[in-house]
Amino acid sequence: MAITKLHEIHKRRKSRNVGLGLVLAAFVVLILGLTMVKVTTTPISNIGSAEAHN
């Protein structure tokens, strides 16, 4: 028989899962944003030089 009524325990587990999902999604967005900024603000002439890596 399927469980039809959610217990408090299920709500807390769901909050953990949703929270972790949002954190991971935010991480992907942040890395994408940082990559965009680094790529667009580094002069092409510097690519491959020490400055580009910094």
Contact 52, 42 (CB under 8 A): yes
Q: Total number of residues binding another protein (CB under 8 A)?
A: 17
State how far the Cα of 19 lies from the Cα of 27, in Å rounded to an integer.
12
State how far the Cα of 11 lies from the Cα of 27, in Å rounded to an integer.
24
Instruction: Specify the residue, 18 or 47, whose C-beta has the smaller distance to another protein.
Output: 18
Establish if 19 lies at the interface with another protein (CB under 8 A): yes
Establish if 5 lies at the interface with another protein (CB under 8 A): no
The helix or strand, by DSSP H or E, that contains position 43, with its residue range, turns out to be none
Footprint of another protein on this chain (CB under 8 A)?
7-9, 11-13, 15-16, 18-20, 30, 33-34, 37, 41, 54
